[in-house]
Amino acid sequence: MSVIRTVRGLRHDLLGRFGDAPGGFHCANGNRLAYARLFGTRIETIDFSAVLKTYESGRASGYLGDVTFTQADVDKTFEQMTNGRELLTAAEKVRKGARLFHAFKALIEANGFTSAAFRCWPEIMQIENISACLSIGWLLSEGVVRAAACEGDWPTAVCQSMGSLLSGQPAACLDFINHVGSRSVVQLAHCGVGIPCLMEDGKIGEISPNREGGISM
């Protein structure tokens, strides 16, 4: 039954792609026609400038009409994000993350997207000095979409959708950065698509992965 539900869900998947993938991310440019034929996934691309405009204005426009959010909505989400969690970063950064979550959410609802992929950097980091990781992960925790992929990587979002539909739980797809056979440590990237509601350490912090050769984390 789970497989049947998954096939049916993918046949009705409308994936919102917010901006193109950053330069060099060739894996984020799959064959859209092949995915449509095999899975039924439809992809709509929205310029990333729409995210920044919605972030500032609190209003999104799409195929289904307008969706708005208020500062009170942002404050409420900020409280939910920080409740019972230790902050290892500035509270203002988390508040910005809450606002970015609502900007994504408004655009998703205004267009009827069931899954999404985001150009999550470098613009957000350059303009607001935050990463989009918490905001994207929160979309999964709140069930706004069944897939939310980083770096415009929409093929990963399709895999996430499969995992979510099969398991009935939010799913994350992580990159293997390195795996040294002689050690028991596997280093993963795309930590932003981790799922806050399933995390147990109770902390919100800043992590910058060190990808230098020979360096263990």
Per-residue pLDDT at 192 = 47
Mean pLDDT of 177-204: 62
Phi, psi of 107 (to 5 degrees): -65, -40
Angle (nearest 5°) at CA 28 between 81 and 41: 85
Q: Specify the DSSP element, H or E, that contains 179.
A: strand 175-179
Spatial separation of the C-alpha atoms in residues 90 and 94, rounded to whole Å? 7
Q: For 80-108, what is the mean pLDDT?
A: 94
Mean pLDDT, rounded, of the chain: 85
Whether residue 93 is predicted with pLDDT greater than 90 in this model: the reply is yes
Catalogue the E-assigned strands of 13-167: 14-18, 42-46, 59-62, 65-68, 86-87, 115-118, 148-149
Q: How confident is the model at residue 104 (pLDDT cuts 50, 70, 90)?
A: very high
The span from the CA of 24 to the CA of 13, in Å, is: 27
Q: Tell me the C-alpha distance between 2 and 119, whole Å.
A: 31
Residue 211 has pLDDT above 50, yes or no: no
pLDDT at residue 11, as a whole number: 93
Alpha carbon distance 109, 128 (integer Å):
24
